[in-house]
Every structure is written in structure tokens, then in C-alpha cells.
Amino acid sequence: MGSSSCSRASRRFVARFLVRFFVHGIASCLALQSASADDAPTRALDRVTVTGSRPSSIPVEIPTTIESITRDEIDTRINATDAEDVLKYFPSLNIRKRYIGDYDHAVLGSRASGTGNSARSLVYADGILLSNLLGNGATFTPRWGLVSPEEIERVDVLYGPYSAAYPGNSVGAVVEYVTRMPRETEAHVKLLGTTSHFHDVYASEGHYGTGGGSAAIGSRSGPVSWWVDVNRLDSEGQPLSFANRLVSTGVANGGGVPVTGAVFDQNPKNQNWWILGSTTQTHTTQDQAKGKIALDITPDMRLTYLFAVWRNDSVRSTTSYLRDANDKRVTGGRVAINGLTYALTPSDFAPTRGALEHVTHALTLKSDTKSTFDFSLAASLYDENKDEVRTPTVVVNSASTPGAGTITDMRGSGWSTLAARFVWRPDPASNVHVVEGGVQRDAFKLRTRVSATGNWLSDGPVAPVSRFDGDTDLTSLWLQDAWRFAPEWKAIVGARAERWTAHDGLIANASTAFGYAARRQQAISPKAAVGFTGFEGWELRGSYGHALRFPTVSELYQGAIVDNVIANNDPSLRPERSNTIEATVERSWARASARLTYFHELTHDALYSQTNVNVVPNVTNIQNVDRIRTNGLEFAGSSRGWPLSSIDFAASVTYADSKIVADAQFPAAIDKQQPRVPRWRGAAYVTWRATDAVSATLGARYSGKQYATLDNSDPNGASYTGFSPFLVFDARVRYRFDRHWTGSLGIDNFNDRTYWAFHPYPKRTFVAEVGYDL
């Protein structure tokens, strides 16, 4: 597979930048001395303070573990080609990012939630919900594209459902991006280039690259501040999927065209299969534009409006490995491999084209007097203004070959949020009590229409094929009180009352439509935490949280109609109910900290796709798994400037024993490991600040063995659709030429590890950046 024009341009950019970087940067580095210990910056170990100038979802009092990263730390340590990259070294987090610009599978996993459970975490940017809670799974990715790495001021991560301020989707983690708002005139420009050689994965090989750039400008005049940020990414990803046939399905003496090129392998269940070719090789072009304007009504009250648009055009190509006697590629018909016959279908090598345009609006009014009473009002709308995927239904030779096909149109889907919050401090001088509360409404709307078309490349819809509609709403009232009942003790007690509704559910095919009855459910989730700081430098914390994760629209309503009967979905699904406990001991020094956390989670009615073996015929769909129990330990430690003034480092290790302990509908899953939750995972980095201008970082990421199935029947992770353990290393060198120009070089996965999370991850990837700051 040859290099694309995008990757050639990226390699030229990298080569030119390498010359400039090493000539000007490394030579200067050798001439400079390390900073003294007295000049080394200290790290603030106190909890995060969110000011009124930064709209945020984070409450004032945080009854759980929180980890953070700042803009300077991101620039120094991380090859951040996407917003999700900044999370790569956080304890217990895992982003299933398959390639740069992965817009529909880069989901977040946490301590006791795998990357198949996207609805068990929450992602916000300036208080705006980015999590796609229309569904649960790999295709319901947080809308990372609405945040460019260059606009991030800091990122905070809260672990677990211990704050009453969040719904039960916080059971895994809450991620909050806080983006920049200027205090004076500033401007920034950045260019990015990457290149990667994909090899040793079946018969696929090629160079793939990325080119991108961003620009931002902002200023402040009196009470008005504004910010405009634009970003463009043009990325070629490696092949992600592979057409295949089990050897056992071949028919002897079945005829067909004799072909060569199929690759013999074993699938995750160690069954023999043929790999016939690669699919889902994605070329994506993404554009993002964001504008923010803020008015300081008073010195302590700010009104902020945000508008953002994200566009994506993608082409996903396929390549058949099969060749006939004339060395011509074969993509359809009946083929003979090693004496057995297999029938190829149009879907085996079907390319796709996607065109998306998503728009968001947000309005926030927030006071931050830190006196007796503060409040915030926030509203946001995320609208999938255009969301279209085109696929051929006949055999085509390339991504530009016309033919009949289908159009999947999700226009009209999206979500809206409305929230009012308050903070009441009866005695601001002592803060013996800090009472927080609010009311919140989150509404989600899914619209999916699949239509037939005469030409999948350009024609409009001509006939309906299927349709899925549905809405869910969650209205919540929450209250919590942080009570410092002794100088060394603080307790936080709260509760969240929720009313969930599901309505307007509809499933249809070309000739039949069925509606679903509306559903309503109410619940109360108690929360409690206590902390002790009576020993110098030590802190002890314990937290309890009950959480309900209600079914998403797609889990309830997406299925099929077979013989005029609804199949493959269950609109009566119960919500997940999790009881969680966290106990933490933390030690802080002037320049370092260490934390050990025990966590426990018992989830009833977990939502998973499984096979109900108690009915005939067996039914496979989203079902409630009776109980999943997780016990684990998480260690995290970090240092800045200790024991050496020029060295920063951090490391984390997580152990999670996560097992299915009851499953009446699929007993084979009992006592098996929860899918996509490894027993061991870890991350670490070390940064050498050679001078004020030069830094170098080495990072590592590790994950142990994972399974994709509830009964753990997929032991072979080193195969397509498998989940393999991995240990990969990253590197980054950053040099500030002067007060305006900065450059960096990096390598992700520089040990060139081949590893899988259903799809193959990227191989060794070189990253080059150059930026200008006014």
C-alpha cells in the first residue's frame, strides 16, 4: 500500500523541521547549564480552585480523588495531536484512540469501566457536555473535536460518583476541560505534522501521516473579553478492520475463482480463519471553529456565550489481498482458497464516505464573590446539524466507484442541558459549612434514518430501509453540605434526586413501524465523604456514592424487525445501579505527593450485549447482567523538582479485580473478568528540564490482558477483534527558540509495538510541531 499525498507532505514537514530543530535547538541546549535547585518551580498540591472567569461543571467542594494537568505540563510532556491525548498519563484512564482524528471510536475507560462502556463517564468542556449519551459503546464517542489541544488551559479528572453534582454516568470518571480566556491581547499559531509506518499486520503495509494547524486570537477591553480559535486536521489512519472467513465455513468442490493472497491466522477464540483484506482505512479532514465572548457585569459576575462548529469529511477505503491467476484483485463473487470455496459479499470490501457538521451553543452566567452566596445558570445545545454516512450495497472496486447503496442520516440528533446552581456559605470567614445544590435537566434525542440510494456517492435517498427514533430526559435536584465539624475533619453529605423518562421511541423498516410506550422512573442517590488532615502532610479520605446509570436511547430502541415482530432490543431495560466506596491515604511534601486508593464497586443490572440461553431460540441483545463486583488499588505519585531540581516525574499503577458474580441469563459469564477491564494497568513519565528553554520527556503506558467477551472466550488478543496487553513508550523534546517561537519533536510508541483493541493501534509515530505565540 503506497504512501498518500498527505503522508508525503507530512514527512517533508517533519524532515525540514528536524533540521531546524537540531541545528538551532540542540546546539543551544549544549551551551546552557541546568537550572539551580533554588530556581525550580514548586507544585501546588492543594485542590483545584475554579474561578468565576472559567465556566465549569466542577463543584466547589470535591468529595473524591481529583487529578489535574495544566497547559504548561501538556506542552512539555505530551504529543497532543487531539484533545483526548492530554489524558494518556492520568491514573487508571485509557483512551481507545485508533488513529489521529479518531472521531467515532475514541472512547474512555476508567477504573472499573472498560472502553466498551462510554456512558459510564462524563466529559465536559467549560461546563458543556461533550459525552455522547445517545448510546453506550465504541461508536458513541465524546465529541473531542470541539476542543483543540492548543486552547486547553487545564484539565481536571474526578474519579467515581461521589459528588451529588453529577448524574450516575459519573460512576467511572468526570473529565473537565477548561479552555483559555485572555486577560490581554494574545495570539497563537501552531503547525503539526506526523508520519507512521504501518507494517507486520497481515499483508497491509504503508506510510500514513497527518498535517494540521491551529490559530487563535483573543483580547480584553474593559469588561469584555473574547476568544476565537480555529483548527484543521488532515489525517490518514492505518487500516483498522479486516475481511475474514472461518476456515471451517469453506465448501469443498464448490467452484469459484482460485485466488492467492489470503493470510492464515487464528481469531481471538483460536479458531482458524483467513484474512481476505483490509477495510476502514480512514482519511479524515476535520475543521473546528470556536468563538467565546464574556461580559463582566460586575467584578464578580460574568456572562459568557460560546459558539462552536465542527466539520468532518471522511473516506474509508478497502484493499483486497485476493488475486486471481492474472494478478488482478478480487473483491466479489465466489473464490477458492486452498481448495475450499467462500462467497464474498458486497459488505466485505465496502468503502464508506462520511460528512458531519455538529454545532454547539452555550450561555453561562456565573458569580464568584466567595462570600455568602454565589450562583450559576448554564444552558447548552449540541446539534448534529449534518451526520451522514454513505455505503455501497453492490461490489465496487474503489471508494470512488459508483453504484447502489445506503445513506445513514442522523441529522436532528443531539442533546441539550439546562442547569442552575448555588453555593451558600453561612459563615464565609470560617467556611464551617459550604452548601451547594442545584437543579438540572439533560435531554437527548436520537434520529437515525437509513435509506436506499441509486448512487451511493452522490444521489439522495429514494426509499426508506429502516428508522430508529427516541428521546430520554433526566431531571435532577441535588444538594450537598461540606461541614468542617473540627479543625482537622470535614464531612460532605449529599443526595441527588432524579426523574428519568424515555419517550417517542420508534422502530421501522421499509413497510412497518412500531412505537414504544413511554417510561418513567424516579430514584435518589445518596453520597457521603469524610476527610482527616490531623497529621502534618497527611490526608485520609473515605467516600461512598450510589449511582444510577439509566439506559440510553440506542440501548432501548435500536434493533430490528423480523417477520413483522420487533427483535434484538428490549425497551424494558433496567438502569445500572452501582454502590461504590473509595478510601484514600495521601502524603504531600513541598515538591512531591503520593496517594494510595482502595476502590470497590458493586453494580447491579449492568448493561451489556449478551446471549440469553434461557430462551429458545437464544436471543442476543442488550441485557441486564445481574451483578459485577470490582475491588482494586490505585497508586499515584508525582514530583516536581525533587530529588533533582531539573527532573519531574509521575507514575501510577492500578490493580482491578473486576468479575461478573451473577448472570442468570448467561451463566457461562459467572466468575469471569469484566470485558475490557485489565487487572493491571499503569502509566509513567519523567521530564528533564535541561534549561528554561529545553525539556525532554520519556513516557510509558501499560495495560494487562483484556477480554472482549463476557465469558472470556477470546484468549488470543494478538489478532483482529482481540484485545492484547501492551507496553509502549513515548518521547518528546521541546525547545523554545525565543519568547515567540517554540518547536517540539516526539515519538509515540517508539518501541513499535503491534497491539490491538479490536482494531490495531498505530505503530511508531513521529510527531513534529512548531508554534508562534504573540
Average pLDDT (643-649) is 92
10 Å Cβ neighbour count for 326?
Answer: 5
Please tell me the predicted confidence (pLDDT) of residue 12. 52
Q: How far, in Å, CA of 199 to CA of 748, rounded?
A: 16
Answer whether residue 248 shows pLDDT above 60: yes
Residues 447 and 469 sit within 8 Å (Cβ to Cβ): yes
Model pLDDT for residues 486-505, shown as the tens digit of each residue: 999 999 999 999 999 999 99
Q: On the CB side of 264, how many CA atoms lie within 13 Å of its CA?
A: 6
Average pLDDT (170-183) is 94
Model pLDDT for residues 394-404, shown as the tens digit of each residue: 999 889 999 99
Q: On the CB side of 522, how many CA atoms lie within 13 Å of its CA?
A: 2
16 φ/ψ angles, rounded to the nearest 5 degrees: -60, -40
Model pLDDT for residues 94-127, shown as the tens digit of each residue: 999 999 999 999 999 999 999 999 999 999 999 9
Residues 108 and 94 sit within 8 Å (Cβ to Cβ): yes
In this structure, what CATH number is given to the domain that contains residue 757? 2.40.170.20
Please tell me the predicted confidence (pLDDT) of residue 25. 39
Q: Is the pTM value of this prediction over 0.75?
A: yes
Answer whether residue 36 shows pLDDT above 50: no
Answer whether residue 427 shows pLDDT above 90: yes
Model pLDDT for residues 302-352, shown as the tens digit of each residue: 999 999 999 999 999 999 999 999 999 999 999 999 999 999 999 999 999
Answer whether residue 767 shows pLDDT above 50: yes
Average pLDDT (612-624) is 92
Please tell me the predicted confidence (pLDDT) of residue 41. 34
Q: How far, in Å, CA of 215 to CA of 198, rounded?
A: 30
| 506: three-class secondary structure by DSSP | strand
Average pLDDT (51-62) is 73
* Mode of pairing for the β-strands spanning 538-549 and 565-567: unpaired
Answer whether residue 52 shows pLDDT above 90: no
Please tell me the predicted confidence (pLDDT) of residue 35. 35
Please tell me the predicted confidence (pLDDT) of residue 642. 86
| 295: three-class secondary structure by DSSP | strand
User: Per the structure block, which three cell numbers stand in for 233?
Assistant: 486536521
Of 20-29, 53-62, 625-634, the poorest mean pLDDT is in: 20-29
Q: How far, in Å, CA of 210 to CA of 614, rounded?
A: 50
Please tell me the predicted confidence (pLDDT) of residue 566. 85
Average pLDDT (293-298) is 96
Q: How far, in Å, CA of 286 to CA of 565, rounded?
A: 41
Between 240 and 57, the higher pLDDT residue: 240
Please tell me the predicted confidence (pLDDT) of residue 9. 47
| 595: three-class secondary structure by DSSP | strand
Domain holding 724, by residue range, is 5-773
Please tell me the predicted confidence (pLDDT) of residue 703. 97
Number of domains making up the chain:
1
Q: How confident is the model at residue 616 (pLDDT cuts 50, 70, 90)?
A: confident
C-alpha torsion 622→554→148→678, nearest 10:
0
Model pLDDT for residues 673-709, shown as the tens digit of each residue: 999 999 999 999 999 999 999 999 999 999 999 999 9
Model pLDDT for residues 700-736, shown as the tens digit of each residue: 999 999 999 999 999 999 999 999 999 999 999 999 9
Please tell me the predicted confidence (pLDDT) of residue 272. 98
| Sign of the torsion formed by the C-alpha atoms of 143, 145, 149 and 151 | negative
Residues 594 and 639 sit within 8 Å (Cβ to Cβ): no
| Sign of the torsion formed by the C-alpha atoms of 120, 505, 411 and 315 | positive
Instruction: Give the Å distances, CA to CA, from 526 to 500, 543, 546.
Output: 17, 11, 6
Model pLDDT for residues 265-279, shown as the tens digit of each residue: 999 999 999 999 999
Please tell me the predicted confidence (pLDDT) of residue 21. 40
Answer whether residue 27 shows pLDDT above 80: no
Model pLDDT for residues 510-557, shown as the tens digit of each residue: 999 999 999 999 999 999 999 999 999 999 999 999 999 999 999 999
Question: Would you give the DSSP letter of residue 739?
Answer: S
Q: How confident is the model at residue 28 (pLDDT cuts 50, 70, 90)?
A: very low
554 φ/ψ angles, rounded to the nearest 5 degrees: -70, -35
User: Per the structure block, which three cell numbers stand in for 633?
Assistant: 488499588
Of 34-43, 417-426, 563-572, the poorest mean pLDDT is in: 34-43
DSSP string spanning 316-354?
A: EEEEE--B-TTS-B--SEEEEETTEEEEE-TTTT--EEE
Answer whether residue 462 shows pLDDT above 90: yes
Answer whether residue 42 shows pLDDT above 60: no
Please tell me the predicted confidence (pLDDT) of residue 54. 63
Please tell me the predicted confidence (pLDDT) of residue 10. 47
Answer whether residue 43 shows pLDDT above 50: no
449 φ/ψ angles, rounded to the nearest 5 degrees: -125, 125
Q: What is the mean pLDDT of the chain?
A: 92
